């Protein structure tokens, strides 16, 4: 997989060894030595830039094994259009979601061992830099604990001085100890970090980023305590009696952000669907939903999400990858709050004929319209034309084997320019993704400019709502959820329960790489995914001899998507620890089932 070089507000302006095992353990003359690093603010900034760059974030460029295999494709959100790749396997693979980030932790610990003696910084500056590094370390430990459970807790840069190597071979800590470490670190650094950042520093951590990390991590810990099981003497799983404390910690961290008044839901656009779309594209200071954002620098290497996900007739080369399922589209309610099932048939069960096929999506939750390209939706000055086949006047259905196949003696293609077909890489469900995509131009490989909100205010409200409903404070949960629904443009709820909070999270955070982790921490992935046949929405043109195609009507059929059903094995609630980690440290115990 090609390496995406992303920057979080910092440009590495000094030639540090970003690919070596330890950023300070090299000696070539073109690199700075230890003393030079800590006596130069530019070098320290470059080092800090590397720590941010190495920090594990499941952003738009987070691929599984190879380009264009996204987390959504392993959940109920979407299927993968391509026939290659492990996202197509019937058995959800093990090991591909791993991230054993101890080299990154070592780099941070080396930084922390030196930063408070850095002559180039004032004492006040040293504290801020220390807090930033500890934030990065807490982020990395969160990335590991949500994958593996307990891992070794290393807070200093280990050094081998020729003695017994066994003293460096640390065992795994218990899972709850890692979550407690993250909480303690976030609380310790909050007062050390600035309240806000501006200019070149706007993508660096603030105290509210630390609150947001604490909030998310405590939500995960509480979920594991309530819904998981303890095994390996606590290396995985958290005792149930700890759940309430973690829910309370998640709620308290969320309240610090909410009560600050510094953040708000994005409402810059009058049209609700357009507003939700531009929430992820507006990088200006007017977007008060951004708490902590990862920026991409297209002068070096930008993003590839547009390149891999452009609809068939809009792509440059690859494209079409992420296909939202009909099942997931139906989860989006209508604006009046009614069930979101698509109205493809009338009350008698007969297909409804649509003169304007986009009417099928009229009055759907504007978040769906802002997140998903549906059949015949407008896009980049054209429209996404999706058709599976043509219904002849005698009622028989004609389908195509290629996009160029024509209907009986006419110039009309049987399938439309954007699919659907089973034999090529066009959409397999009738849908393409819209969220995060650039609406006004075609974007080439590594030229994407869309930043990634690591933490945004809506997630904080949803975390708060989940913690509240788990603690029995349904009134506060309802208030938070209705703020999000009001922004979305759909009817408020009058009451709320746990499943409705989870539903709101699924809709609001769709395709933002939360769903995979959510269904794991709730321990519902096997129930949700196993043997599930996902559905496609296939439009069919109703042919009428003597009429122009533009005057003909469409019907829609909900049919099986031509993709494998999946199996999520229970062992996948925790990832397989890499073999080399175990072979080099006999004190590391492998997770069950591997």
Domains in the chain, start-ordered, CATH in brackets?
34-76+98-259 (1.25.40.390), 304-447+533-560 (no CATH), 454-529 (1.25.40.900)
Q: What percent of the chain has pLDDT over 90?
A: 85
CA distance 208 to 195: 7
> 556 with 342: CB under 8 angstroms?
yes
Backbone phi, then psi, for 470, in 5-degree steps?
A: -70, -25
Residue 351's DSSP bridge partners are 345
Angle (nearest 5°) at CA 138 between 137 and 141: 85
Of the candidates 292, 325, 271, the one whose C-alpha atom is nearest the C-alpha of residue 459 is: 292
Q: What is the pLDDT of residue 6?
A: 34
- pLDDT tier at 423, thresholds 50, 70, 90: confident
Give the least confident one: 161-165, 211-215, 488-492, 559-563: 161-165
- By CB atoms closer than 10 A (0-12, 13-18, 19+), residue 348 is exposed
Cα dihedral across residues 386, 391, 396, 402: positive or negative: negative
Q: What is the pLDDT of residue 65?
A: 63
Give the least confident one: 16-20, 116-120, 328-332, 530-534: 16-20
Higher pLDDT, residue 96 or 410: 410
CA distance 586 to 478: 49
Of the candidates 236, 302, 255, 276, the one whose C-alpha atom is nearest the C-alpha of residue 508 is: 276
- The arithmetic mean of pLDDT across residues 83-103, rounded, is 83
Of the candidates 235, 208, 239, the one whose C-alpha atom is nearest the C-alpha of residue 222 is: 239
Q: What is the pLDDT of residue 69?
A: 86
Q: What does the pLDDT look like over 486-538, one tens digit per residue?
A: 999 999 999 999 999 999 999 999 999 999 999 999 999 999 999 999 999 99
Instruction: Compute how many other C-beta atoms are within 10 angstroms of the C-beta atom of residue 116.
Output: 13
> 261 with 457: CB under 8 angstroms?
no
CA distances (Å), origin 74, targets 57, 210, 322, 582: 18, 29, 11, 27
Tell me: cis bond preceding 375? Omega within 30 of 0 counts: no
Q: What is the pLDDT of residue 165?
A: 83
Of the candidates 164, 165, 166, 144, the one whose C-alpha atom is nearest the C-alpha of residue 153 is: 144
Cα dihedral across residues 464, 465, 466, 472: positive or negative: positive
Residue 456's DSSP bridge partners are 290
Q: What is the DSSP string of 443-477?
A: --TT-B---EEEEEHHHHHHHHHHHHHHHT-HHHH
Record the pTM: 0.93
Whether 224 has a pLDDT exceeding 80, the answer reads yes
CA distance 495 to 497: 7
Q: What is the pLDDT of residue 528?
A: 96
Whether 28 has a pLDDT exceeding 70, the answer reads no
Q: What is the pLDDT of residue 84?
A: 73
Whether 301 has a pLDDT exceeding 80, the answer reads no
Q: What is the pLDDT of residue 11?
A: 31
Q: What is the mean pLDDT of the chain?
A: 92
Of the candidates 119, 324, 150, 335, the one whose C-alpha atom is nearest the C-alpha of residue 230 is: 150
- The arithmetic mean of pLDDT across residues 245-274, rounded, is 99
Q: What is the pLDDT of residue 19?
A: 32
Higher pLDDT, residue 182 or 564: 182
Of the candidates 483, 469, 506, 452, the one whose C-alpha atom is nearest the C-alpha of residue 258 is: 483
CA distance 434 to 265: 20
Q: What does the pLDDT look like over 376-395, one tens digit per residue?
A: 999 999 999 999 999 999 99
Q: What does the pLDDT look like over 438-491, one tens digit per residue?
A: 999 999 999 999 999 999 999 999 999 999 999 999 999 999 999 999 999 999
The 3-state secondary structure of 288-329, one letter per residue: CCEEEEEECCCCCCCECHHHHHCCHHHCCCCCCCEEECHHHH
Give the least confident one: 55-64, 433-442, 516-525: 55-64
- CA 408 remoteness from chain centre: 45
- The arithmetic mean of pLDDT across residues 218-243, rounded, is 99
| Residue 357 CB contacts under 8 Å (≥ 6 apart), including other chains | 375, 376, 539, 554, 556
Q: What is the pLDDT of residue 68?
A: 67
Could you tell me the two tokens for 432? 């393409």
Of the candidates 470, 270, 273, the one whose C-alpha atom is nearest the C-alpha of residue 358 is: 273
Q: What is the pLDDT of residue 27?
A: 36
- pLDDT tier at 166, thresholds 50, 70, 90: confident
- pLDDT tier at 66, thresholds 50, 70, 90: low
Q: What is the pLDDT of residue 151?
A: 99
Give the least confident one: 113-122, 420-429, 452-461: 420-429
- CA 120 remoteness from chain centre: 38
Q: What is the pLDDT of residue 10?
A: 33
């Amino acid at each position: 997989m090609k390496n995406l070089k992303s920057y979080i507000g910092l440009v590495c302006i000094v030639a540090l060894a970003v690919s070596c095992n330890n950023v300070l353990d090299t000696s070539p003359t073109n690199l700075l030595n230890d003393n030079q690093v800590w006596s130069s603010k530019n070098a320290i900034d470059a080092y800090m830039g590397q720590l941010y760059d190495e920090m594990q974030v499941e952003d738009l460029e987070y691929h599984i094994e190879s380009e264009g295999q996204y987390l959504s494709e392993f959940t109920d959100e979407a299927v993968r259009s391509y026939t290659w790749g492990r996202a197509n396997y019937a058995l959800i693979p093990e090991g591909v979601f791993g991230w054993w980030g101890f080299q990154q932790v070592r780099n941070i610990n080396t930084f922390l061992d030196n930063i408070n003696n850095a002559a180039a910084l004032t004492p006040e500056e040293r504290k801020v830099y220390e807090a930033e590094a500890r934030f990065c370390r807490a982020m990395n430990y969160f990335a590991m604990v949500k994958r593996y459970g307990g891992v070794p807790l290393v807070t200093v840069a280990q050094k081998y001085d020729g003695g017994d190597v066994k003293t460096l071979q640390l065992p795994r800590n218990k899972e709850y100890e890692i979550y407690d470490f993250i909480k303690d670190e976030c609380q310790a650094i909050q007062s050390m970090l600035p309240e806000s950042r501006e200019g070149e520093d706007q993508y660096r951590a603030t105290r509210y980023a630390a609150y947001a990390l604490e909030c998310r991590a405590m939500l995960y810990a509480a979920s594991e305590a309530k819904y998981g099981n303890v095994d390996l003497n606590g290396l995985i799983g958290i005792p149930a009696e700890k759940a309430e404390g973690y829910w309370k910690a998640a709620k308290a961290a969320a309240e610090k952000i909410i009560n600050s008044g510094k953040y708000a839901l994005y409402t810059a656009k009058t049209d609700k669907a357009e507003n939700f779309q531009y929430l992820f594209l507006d990088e200006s200071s007017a977007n008060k939903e951004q708490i902590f954002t990862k920026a991409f620098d297209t002068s070096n290497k930008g993003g590839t999400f547009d390149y891999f996900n452009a609809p068939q007739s809009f792509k440059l080369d690859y494209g079409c990858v992420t296909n939202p399922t009909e099942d997931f589209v139906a989860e989006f309610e209508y604006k009046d709050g009614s069930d979101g099932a698509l109205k493809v048939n009338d009350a008698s069960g007969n297909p409804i004929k649509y003169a304007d096929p986009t009417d099928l999506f009229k009055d759907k939750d504007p978040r769906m319209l802002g997140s998903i390209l549906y059949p015949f939706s407008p896009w980049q000055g054209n429209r996404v034309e999706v058709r599976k086949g043509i219904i002849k006047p005698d009622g028989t259905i004609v389908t195509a084997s290629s996009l160029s196949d024509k209907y009986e003696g006419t110039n009309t293609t049987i399938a439309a320019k954007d699919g659907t077909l089973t034999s090529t890489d066009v959409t397999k469900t009738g849908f393409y993704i819209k969220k995060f995509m650039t609406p006004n131009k075609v974007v080439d490989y590594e030229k994407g400019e869309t930043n990634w909100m690591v933490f945004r205010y809506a997630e904080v409200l949803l975390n708060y709502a989940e913690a509240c409903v788990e603690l029995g404070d349904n009134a506060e949960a309802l208030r938070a959820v209705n703020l999000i629904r009001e922004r979305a443009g759909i009817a408020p709820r009058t009451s709320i329960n746990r499943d409705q909070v989870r539903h709101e999270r699924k809709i609001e955070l769709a395709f933002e790489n939360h769903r995979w982790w959510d269904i794991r921490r709730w321990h519902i992935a096997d129930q949700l995914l196993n043997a599930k046949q996902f559905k496609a929405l296939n439009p069919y043109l109703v042919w009428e001899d003597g009429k122009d195609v533009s005057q003909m009507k469409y019907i829609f059929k909900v049919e099986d998507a031509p993709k494998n059903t999946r199996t999520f094995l229970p062992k996948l609630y925790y990832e397989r620890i890499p073999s080399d980690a175990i072979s080099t440290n006999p004190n590391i115990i492998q997770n069950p089932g591997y």
